[in-house]
Amino acid sequence: MTATLSRSVEDYLKVIYQITERSDSGGTTEIAERLDLTPASVTGMVKKLAESGLLEHVPYKGVRLTDQGRVAALAVMRRHRILEAYLITKLGYDWSNVHQEAERLEHAVSDELVERMAFALGQPKYDPHGAPIPTPEGEIERTAYVPLAECEVGATVHVRLVGDDDAERLRYLKSIGLVPMTEVTVMDKQPFGGPITLRLAGKETKDRVIGTELAESLWVEKR
């Protein structure tokens, strides 16, 4: 079914899935912001997607994907994340710019090619930024990660997932060693959104100090 969907529809489904992954529904305004579109155009497309059985309206809250829409969204996400892993592992792309390349390719590659890539990679479970890769059957690992900014002083955690939508931020995180599977301990947190001091396991250099906004883009798993 996913092969018959337009690029625009796939983009909508993926964004709605991402918005509603940690909440019950998503609003038109947030969808418009994510897709850089006007709320009016989003309202029109949302109506069409609802008529197609891909999403449903939640009274006074917004929209959420139907089972059919969720499967279609996860298929797009699988293509995207396998592409990222392949481009980095096999073609030498840097993790800071691979997201944009995968965005362009995810609508063009066939499912057969994606599965050949997955086989060549050894069926990876996570993409280079730590996001779980959906299975071909449309299942995805449910994670219990929390933003690093919410961790208390003294907590030792593992970085598991980083936001992949900002190349400059990714380059910076890599330069200071804050990549998936890195163990860090929160040494200090200044109040009112002040800087956070982190100690990276196995690093002989000085502690890392990052801002709260950056810490919000790092999702961690408590040890």
Of 20, 36, 69, the last residue of a domain is: 69
pLDDT on residue 4: 76
Structure tokens at 213: 């906004």
Q: What is the mean pLDDT of residues 179-204?
A: 92
Which of 69, 84, 105 represents a domain boundary (last residue)?
69
pLDDT of 122-134, one tens digit each? Answer: 999 999 999 999 9
User: What pLDDT sits at residue 58?
Assistant: 82
Q: How confident is the model at residue 24 (pLDDT cuts 50, 70, 90)?
A: confident
What is the rounded CA–CA span in Å between residue 217 and residue 191?
Answer: 19
Q: Which of 12-16, 46-50, 101-105, 163-167 has the lowest mean pLDDT?
A: 163-167
Q: Which of 187, 188, 196 is nearest to 218 (CA)?
A: 196
Q: DSSP characters for 8-66?
A: HHHHHHHHHHHHHTTSS-B-HHHHHHHHT--HHHHHHHHHHHHHTTSEEEETTTEEEE-
The model's pLDDT over 133-161, given as tens digits with 9 standing for 90+, comes to: 999 999 999 888 999 999 999 999 999 99
pLDDT at 203: 63
Contacts for 183 with CB less than 8 Å, ≥ 6 apart: 156, 157, 158, 159, 200, 201, 202, 223
Tell me the two tokens of residue 162.
Answer: 């980083």
Instruction: Count how many Cα atoms sit within 13 Å of the Cα of residue 53 in the half-sphere of its side chain.
Output: 4
User: 23 lies in a domain?
Assistant: yes
Q: What is the mean pLDDT of residues 99-112?
A: 93
Report the distance separating Cα 159 and Cα 184, nearest Å.
Answer: 7
CA 33/CA 66 separation, integer angstroms: 22
Which of 34-48, 74-88, 197-211 is modeled with the greatest confidence? Answer: 74-88
Q: How high is the pLDDT of residue 123?
A: 97
Task: List the one residue out of 37, 24, 136 whose CA is nearest residue 12.
Answer: 37
Q: Is residue 124 part of a domain?
A: no
Task: Please report whether residue 37 resides in a domain.
Answer: yes
Residue 204, pLDDT score: 66
**Better pLDDT: 25 or 17:** 17
Rounded average pLDDT over 87-97 = 95
> Is the Cβ–Cβ distance between 178 and 162 less than 8 Å?
yes
Q: 165: pLDDT confidence band, cut at 50, 70 and 90?
A: confident
The residue from 20, 46, 69 where one domain ends is 69
- Is pLDDT at 41 greater than 70 in this prediction? yes
Residue with more model confidence, 165 or 44: 44
- 137 occurs within a structural domain: no
If we measure between CA atoms, which residue out of 82, 175, 169 comes closest to residue 91?
A: 82
pLDDT above 70: residue 116: yes
* pLDDT for residue 1: 41
Question: Residue 14 maps to which CATH number?
Answer: 1.10.10.10
CATH number at residue 170: 2.30.30.90
Please name the residues in contact with 39: beta carbons below 8 A apart, sequence gap of 6 or more: 28, 29, 32
Report if residue 129 sits inside a domain: no
| Domains: count for the chain | 2
Count the neighbouring beta carbons within 10 Å of the beta carbon of residue 87.
21
Residues of the chain above pLDDT 70, percent: 97
Integer Cα distance of 77 and 133 in angstroms: 7
User: Measured in whole angstroms, how far is the alpha carbon of residue 3 from the centre of its chain?
Assistant: 22
**Domain-embedded: residue 187:** yes
Give me the mean pLDDT over the 52-75 stretch.
92
- Domain with 201, as residue range(s), is 146-222
Domain assignment of residue 116, yes or no: no
User: What pTM, to 2 d.p., does this model score?
Assistant: 0.88
